[in-house]
Amino acid sequence: MASTSDLHVAKLFSVKDYVCVVTGGGSGIGLMASQALAANGAKVYITGRRVEALEQVAKSHNPSGGGQIIPLGPCDVTSKQDLEQLYIELSSREKYINLLICAAGISGTKAEPSEEKATDLKSKLWSAETFESWGETYNTDVSAVYFSTVVMLPLLQAGSETHGHLSASVIVISSMSGIMRHAQGHFSYNAAKGATVHLAKLMSGEFQKLHIRVNSIAPGYFPSEMTTDESDENQKSYVPDEKIQEKGHVPMGRAGSDAEMAMAVMFLAKNAYVNGEVLAVDGGVLNVVGGR
Find out whether 211 and 166 touch, Cβ atoms under 8 Å. Answer: yes
- Report DSSP state, residue 49: S
Q: How many CA atoms lie within 13 A of 11 on its CB side?
A: 7
Q: Which residues contact 53 (CB under 8 A, 6 or more apart)?
A: 26, 27, 231, 235
Neighbours of 237 (CB within 10 A): 19
Find out whether 276 and 215 touch, Cβ atoms under 8 Å. Answer: yes
Find out whether 156 and 213 touch, Cβ atoms under 8 Å. Answer: no
Of 175, 189, 221, 224, catalytic = 189
Strand partners, 46: 22, 71
Q: What distance in Å separates the CA atoms of residue 38 and residue 62, rounded to the nearest whole number?
A: 7
Q: What angle do CA 24, 29, 31 make, to 5 degrees?
A: 65
- Three-class SS of residue 179? helix
> Active site includes 174?
yes
Of 27, 174, 177, 237, catalytic = 174
For the chain, state the CA radius of gyration.
19
Q: Give backbone dihedrals phi and psi of 169, rounded to 5 degrees, phi first.
A: -155, 170
Query: At 61, which amino acid appears?
Result: H
Find out whether 159 and 168 touch, Cβ atoms under 8 Å. Answer: yes
Of 53, 59, 52, 51, the C-alpha closest to 28 is 53
Q: What distance in Å separates the CA atoms of residue 135 and residue 142, rounded to the nearest whole number?
A: 10
| Residues belonging to the active site | 174, 189, 193
